[in-house]
């Protein structure tokens, strides 16, 4: 049986972060190419960097 392959992203993974401003949790992609802001309070959670994002929020877990 052939295995389904969706996202072939060897360097990508998701991060569960907690906003330090309002405390809401959000999933962000580790190789996001642009700034990620909190959906609730608009605080910057991560900024895009050269090869990977720079996190500004607390990481709860990665998956």
Q: Where are the alpha helices (DSSP H) in 19-60?
A: none
Residues of this chain that interact with Zn ion (CB under 5 A) are 19, 21-22, 38, 40-41, 43
> Which is nearer to Zn ion, 9 or 25 (by Cβ)?
25
Contact 8, 45 (CB under 8 A): no
Structure token pair of residue 45: 């959670």
> Which is nearer to Zn ion, 9 or 22 (by Cβ)?
22
């Amino acid at each position: 049986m052939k295995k389904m392959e969706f996202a072939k992203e060897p360097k990508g993974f998701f991060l569960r972060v907690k906003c330090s401003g309002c405390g809401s949790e959000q999933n962000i992609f580790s190789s996001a190419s642009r700034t990620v802001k909190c959906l609730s309070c608009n605080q910057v959670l991560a900024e895009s960097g050269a090869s990977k994002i720079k996190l500004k929020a607390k990481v709860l877990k990665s998956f």
